[in-house]
Amino acid sequence: MIPLGDNLPTLRRPIVTLTVIGATAAVWLFGQGAGLNDVALATSVCNLGLVPGELTRQAPLGFAVPLTEGLTCNVDNERINVLTPLLSIFLHGSWAHIIGNMLFLFVFGNNVEDSMGHFRFLLFYLLCGLAAAASHVLLNPASPVPTVGASGAVSGVMGAYLLLYPRARIKMLFIFFIFFKVFRIQAWMVLIWWFLLQVVTGLPELISVRSDISGGVAVWAHVGGFLAGAILIKLFADRAMVTAHKQAYGVQHGYGWRG
């Protein structure tokens, strides 16, 4: 399922959402070499990615993790490690990774930003990303594997959207082999299904003797970010903005498709 848009036009231009997307894209293109240079990509992931074992000091110094053919990432104790929970939010590992995250942010972020204002949304986004990082470290305290991506922060935006506009309709693209079909589905169905999928995917990690990322994806970071967003929205949402948003566009009636 791929989200293409929703039926909630915004009252204000989503400056922060677009800026975050632009900044993340710039980091990918110019800081990580757009994935075209294996050395540049591996170096950025290794040096600036979140390594739980480096933060907790539970991973042995010098332990080497293979990233790609001929390239490894060694556990270290550099000072910049304390900033990696924040820096890693703006890094990605592939084109599919960044496009997927930024698409979800574009679809769900503008209306969440509209519910709280620009500065508060930026703070909210970063806090959700940090909460996701904390969840990952808590579940994998000794992991030497670097993780990157905005997934945790974007998951927080999705958690907020679920509480704010559960009956909004999301335009979802379903791909069945060579057939494509677009359905309009209420947000609560899309988001709860997505959340349950993360939990189910991550369950083997909880019962595994060797805890690590599930299939290369830090799904419990997604869960932590989602829950953080659902909790923090109570503090960050501006009730007047949310009310104006709903009154102007009628969430229940699904006026005007965007995207």
CATH number of the domain within which 126 lies: 1.20.1540.10
120 burial class (0-12, 13-18, 19+ CB within 10 angstroms)? Answer: middle
Confidence (pLDDT) at 204 = 65
Within-domain flag for 258 = no
Confidence (pLDDT) at 126 = 97
Give the chain's domain count.
1
Confidence class for position 199, pLDDT limits 50, 70, 90: confident
Within-domain flag for 259 = no
CA atoms within 13 A on the CB side of 61: 4
Within-domain flag for 171 = yes
Give the 3-state secondary structure of residue 81: helix
Within-domain flag for 16 = yes
Percent of the chain at pLDDT > 90 equals 64
Q: Which residues lie below 8 Å from residue 245, measured CB to CB, with a gap of 6+? A: 8, 10, 11, 111, 114, 115
* 194: containing domain: 2-253
Q: What is the mean predicted confidence (pLDDT) over 99-105?
A: 95
Neighbour tally for 203: CB within 10 Å: 13
Question: Is the per-residue pLDDT at 118 higher than 60?
Answer: yes
Q: How far apart are CA 38 and CA 42, in angstroms?
A: 6
Confidence (pLDDT) at 117 = 92
* CA distances from residue 119 to 17, 122, 249 in whole angstroms, order as listed: 11, 5, 24
Confidence (pLDDT) at 205 = 61
* CA distances from residue 224 to 72, 169, 199, 207, 246 in whole angstroms, order as listed: 28, 25, 10, 18, 28
Within-domain flag for 107 = yes
Judge whether 50 and 145 are in contact, CB under 8 Å: no
Q: What is the mean predicted confidence (pLDDT) over 50-55?
A: 94
Q: How far apart are CA 224 and CA 89, in angstroms?
A: 14
Q: How far apart are CA 183 and CA 1, in angstroms?
A: 10
Q: How far apart are CA 191 and CA 157, in angstroms?
A: 11
Within-domain flag for 149 = yes
Question: Is the per-residue pLDDT at 211 higher than 70?
Answer: no
Question: Is the per-residue pLDDT at 38 higher than 70?
Answer: yes
Range scoring the smallest mean pLDDT among 182-186, 189-193, 216-220: 216-220
Instruction: Name the range with the highest mean pLDDT among 30-39, 147-156, 182-191.
Output: 147-156
Q: How far apart are CA 24 and CA 31, in angstroms?
A: 10
pLDDT digits (tens, 9 = 90+) for 119-149: 999 999 999 999 999 999 998 899 999 999 9
Compute CA 67 distance to the chain's CA centroid, rounded to the nearest angstrom. 22
Confidence (pLDDT) at 254 = 43
- What's phi and psi for 212, nearest 5 deg? -160, -175
Within-domain flag for 106 = yes
First CA to last CA distance, the chain: 15
24 vs 243 pLDDT, higher one = 24
Within-domain flag for 228 = yes
Going by C-alpha positions, the residue among 124, 117, 141 that lies closest to residue 51 is 141
